[in-house]
């Protein structure tokens, strides 16, 4: 009795994606305890996603925009106003089922804070939400054949196998990593009266899977503006780079897995505190990173490609299974040097701080790889010679284009691109210009879908003796261009081993025009 030995193959398949762009718009009253607004200095925002609910044919995303605004009051001092705008957005995803796996990416495209009047501010933002959908399915594919014990009643089966390199999602895991650090003011800085503005940004974040754990390292950039202690004390700022490294326990992780990891700052807090002498000269930084980890495992599978019997009629049932294979895993570095001129460049005394964000505008697949276009949104904070407006800021978009080499890429390739900013600096040059230098990281995992015919079942029946007897017992044959030893052996009811032995071949390769003697098997 012939039985197929099958293997269950678990596959993750991309179903598609959907994008929604939402506009957030709200007005905020300045609290009575704060000064009238005279001039906007800085604004920043962060998107926090509270929930992603998968419903049939749509995804409902709930979240909020947390913003901060630094403004100059009517009396000349600086003050900070913060607030939130909640949102709920249904995103239609045709074909989405509740069992599908949904990934959400988001980007704050634009944030504008304006003055309606001295006691009322407007906040407008554009947020892009991108939903990517995967589905999982299982296929039973034949990997071998079991004919039982050898006897005259047992099918004499010849098998053709093929190797296939596939990749599947082996692990999904979310975890958090905490960073704590204390910064002490340098001797030339006055004590802290109160903190006006804080920023935390990640730089050069790298992850590496190990057996049972995920390694993590990078830098946390901290920028603080504070009011110095004492009457008439000037506004002060400090900038620190906090290196961090550590590991997260992930029991099922192995070193050979291929990671796709996104890292977000989900909590950040900076608090002034007294030093050992009781003076306000220290700041505690507390940050929590969330790591969304998806890890792939590559596997070489040997599947049954074809089979026939020399003493039975076999009927094969086939199906199609689609797998993914890794086309490329590429970490590219794009270096940018650009000179810009600001409206008040001639009055700039000193650049206090620069920070930026990478925004991808378009990706295009071409023969030589993935073409990426985008901008670095650079914000520069600087001191001016204007005593009435000593601190100013400017935002500039610096475009970039980069080619990520990916041999074999085509319009069916699934590209997972994770951009990051590794380095950014802004330096005053002569002639009122500022030179911006930056390094962008572009981490690409490209998966190539491969659809293969697989054997799902086989049935046997007695050999048709009349058809067998019509075949000549021995025949001379000239190899044709499309031939292989397997095709020849199957067609003439013999085996590859018999052909090799009869013709004195040294291997299984033949070429068009070769002459062979073929002897029919009589098993």
Whether the per-residue pLDDT at 40 is higher than 80: the answer is yes
Estimate to the nearest angstrom the gap between the alpha carbon of 303 and the chain centroid: 31
Task: Quote the tokens at residue 58.
Answer: 């749509």
pLDDT at 150: 54
Q: Which of 219-223, 226-230, 278-282 has the lowest mean pLDDT?
A: 226-230
d(CA 22, CA 127): 5
CB distance 4 to 145 below 8 Å: yes
What pLDDT was estimated at residue 149?
60
pLDDT score for 376? 95
Query: For 375-396, what is the mean pLDDT?
Result: 85
How far is CA 6 from each of CA 101, 214, 243, 455, rounded to the nearest angstrom? 27, 34, 50, 9
pLDDT computed for residue 8 by the predictor: 80
What is the rounded CA–CA span in Å between residue 303 and residue 328? 24
- Structurally, how many domains does the chain consist of? 4
The model's confidence at residue 151, banded by pLDDT at 50, 70 and 90, is low
The token pair at 177 is 């990593």
pLDDT at position 186: 92
Of 96, 123, 140, the residue that ends a domain is 140
Task: Domain of residue 221: give its range.
Answer: 147-310
Q: Is residue 315 part of a domain?
A: no
Residue with tokens 């048709």: 464
User: 352 and 212, same structural domain?
Assistant: no
In this prediction, residue 145 has a pLDDT band, given cuts at 50, 70 and 90, of confident
**How much of the chain exceeds pLDDT 70, in percent?**
97
What is the pLDDT, as a whole number, of residue 167? 87
Residue with tokens 């990671």: 259
pLDDT digits (tens, 9 = 90+) for 440-468: 999 999 999 888 888 888 888 888 777 67
Tell whether the model's pLDDT for residue 176 goes beyond 90: yes
Q: Are residue 126 and residue 157 in the same domain, yes or no?
A: no
As given in the structure block, the two tokens for residue 209 are: 């899977």
The answer to whether 193 and 227 are in contact (CB under 8 A) is yes
Phi-psi region of 330 (alpha: psi -120 to 50; beta: other; left: phi over 0): beta
Tell me, what's the pLDDT at 153? 66
Q: Tell me whether residue 220 is in a domain.
A: yes
pLDDT for the residue numbered 431: 72
Looking at the structure, tell me whether residues 125 and 25 fall in a common domain: yes
Q: Does residue 316 sit within a domain?
A: no
- Residues 9, 31, single domain; the answer is yes
Q: Kindly report which listed range (105-119, 161-175, 297-311, 339-353) carries the lowest average pLDDT score.
A: 339-353
Same domain, 173 and 214: yes
Mean pLDDT of the region 256-260:
94
Same domain, 453 and 468: no
Beta strands per DSSP E along 367-504: 369-384, 391-405, 414-428, 433-462, 474-478
Pair 93, 173 in one domain: no
Residue 239 pLDDT grade (very low, low, confident, very high; cuts 50, 70, 90): very high
Q: What pTM was computed for the model? A: 0.84
Residues 245 and 385 in one domain: no
Does 319 map to a domain? Answer: no
Give the 3-state DSSP-derived string for 1-61, with helices as H, strands as E and coil as C.
CCEEEEEEEEEEEEEEEEEEEEEEEEEEECCCCCCCEEEEEEEEEEEEEEEEEEECCEEEE
The residue among 424, 459, 494 that closes a domain is 459
According to the model, what pLDDT value does residue 346 have? Answer: 66
Mean pLDDT throughout 120-141? 90
Q: Is the pLDDT of residue 82 over 90?
A: yes
Of 109, 143, 168, the residue nearest 322 (C-alpha): 168
> What CATH number is attached to the domain comprising 482?
3.10.350.10
The HSE-up count of residue 290 (CA atoms within 13 Å, CB side) is 9
Query: What are 235's two structure tokens?
Result: 């506004």
Per-residue tokens: 502: 């009869």
Residue 399 has pLDDT above 90, yes or no: yes
Give the pLDDT of residue 60. Answer: 95
Is residue 318 assigned to a domain? Answer: no
Q: Which of 459, 475, 497 is the last residue of a domain?
A: 459
Range from 231-235, 247-251, 314-318, 353-357 carrying the lowest mean pLDDT: 231-235
Q: Is the pLDDT of residue 34 over 80?
A: yes
* Same-domain check for residues 179 and 265: yes
Q: Identify the H or E element spanning 486.
A: helix 485-491
For residues 44 and 70, membership in a common domain is answered with yes
**Mean pLDDT, residues 18-46:** 93
Mean pLDDT, residues 405-429 taken together: 92
Does residue 329 sit within a domain? Answer: yes
Give the CA angle between residues 216, 218, 220 to the nearest 5°. 125
Decide if 320 is inside a domain. no
Which pLDDT band holds residue 16 (cuts at 50, 70, 90)? Answer: confident
Is it the case that residue 407 has pLDDT exceeding 80?
A: yes
Q: Does 152 have pLDDT greater than 60?
A: no
Same domain, 304 and 160: yes
Cα gap 189→187, rounded to integer Å? 6
> Both tokens of residue 158?
């010849």
Q: How confident is the prediction for the chain on average, in pLDDT?
A: 90
**Is residue 505 one of the residues assigned to a domain?**
yes
**What pLDDT, on the 0 to 100 scale, is given for residue 138?**
78
Tell me, yes or no, whether 281 and 203 share the same domain: yes
Residue 249 burial by CB count (10 A; 0-12/13-18/19+): exposed, middle or buried?
exposed
pLDDT over 80 at 289, yes or no: yes
For residues 227 and 233, is the Cβ–Cβ distance under 8 A?
yes
Cα 185 from Cα 205, distance rounded (Å):
26
The CA distance from 276 to 431, in Å, is 46
Q: What is the mean pLDDT of residues 250-274?
A: 94
Residues 291 and 248 sit within 8 Å (Cβ to Cβ): yes
Nearest to residue 106, comparing CAs of 323, 280, 264, 342? 264
């Amino acid at each position: 009795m012939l039985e197929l030995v099958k293997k269950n193959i678990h596959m993750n398949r991309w179903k598609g994606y959907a994008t929604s762009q939402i506009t957030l718009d709200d007005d905020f009253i300045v609290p009575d305890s704060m000064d009238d607004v005279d001039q906007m200095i800085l604004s920043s925002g962060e998107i926090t996603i509270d929930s992603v609910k998968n419903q049939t044919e749509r995804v409902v995303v709930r979240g909020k925009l947390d913003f901060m605004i630094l403004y100059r009051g009517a009396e000349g001092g600086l003050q900070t106003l913060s607030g939130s705008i909640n949102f709920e957005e249904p995103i239609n995803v045709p074909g989405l089922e509740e069992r599908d796996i949904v990934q959400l990416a988001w980007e704050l495209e634009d944030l504008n804070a304006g003055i309606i009047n001295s006691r009322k501010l407007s906040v407008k933002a554009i947020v892009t939400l991108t939903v990517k959908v995967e589905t999982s399915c299982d296929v039973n594919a034949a990997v071998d054949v079991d004919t039982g014990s050898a006897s005259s009643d047992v099918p004499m089966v010849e098998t053709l196998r093929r190797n296939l390199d596939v990749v599947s999602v082996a692990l999904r895991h979310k975890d958090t990593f905490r960073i704590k650090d204390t910064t002490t003011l340098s001797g030339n800085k006055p004590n802290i009266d109160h903190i006006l503005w804080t920023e935390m940004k990640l730089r050069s974040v790298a992850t590496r899977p190990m057996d049972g754990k995920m390694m993590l390292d990078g830098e946390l950039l901290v920028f603080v503006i504070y009011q110095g202690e004492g009457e008439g004390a000037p506004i002060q700022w400090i900038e620190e780079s906090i290196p961090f490294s550590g590991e997260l326990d992930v029991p099922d992780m192995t070193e050979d897995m291929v990671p796709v990891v996104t890292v977000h700052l989900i909590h950040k807090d900076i608090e002034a505190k007294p030093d050992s002498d009781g003076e306000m000269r220290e700041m505690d930084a507390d940050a929590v990173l969330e790591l969304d980890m998806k890890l792939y495992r590559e596997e070489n599978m040997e599947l049954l490609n074809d089979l026939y019997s020399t003493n039975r009629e076999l009927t094969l049932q086939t199906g199609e299974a689609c797998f993914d294979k890794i086309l490329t895993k590429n970490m590219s570095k794009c270096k940018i040097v650009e000179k810009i001129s600001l409206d008040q460049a001639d009055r700039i005394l000193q650049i206090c701080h620069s920070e930026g964000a990478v925004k991808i505008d378009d990706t295009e697949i071409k023969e030589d790889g993935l073409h990426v276009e985008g901008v670095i949104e650079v914000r520069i904070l600087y001191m001016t010679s204007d005593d009435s407006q000593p601190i100013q800021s400017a935002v500039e978009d610096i475009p970039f284009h980069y080619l990520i080499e990916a041999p074999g890429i085509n319009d069916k390739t699934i590209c997972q691109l994770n951009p990051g900013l590794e380095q950014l600096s802004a330096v005053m040059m002569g002639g009122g210009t500022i030179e911006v230098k930056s390094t962008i990281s572009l981490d690409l995992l490209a998966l190539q879908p491969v659809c293969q015919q697989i054997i799902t079942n086989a049935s046997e029946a007695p050999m048709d003796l009349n058809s067998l007897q019509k075949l000549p017992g021995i025949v001379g044959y000239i190899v044709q261009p499309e031939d292989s030893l397997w095709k020849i052996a199957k067609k003439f009811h013999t085996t590859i081993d018999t052909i090799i032995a009869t013709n004195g071949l040294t291997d299984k390769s033949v070429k068009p025009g070769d002459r062979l003697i073929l002897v029919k098997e009589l098993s």
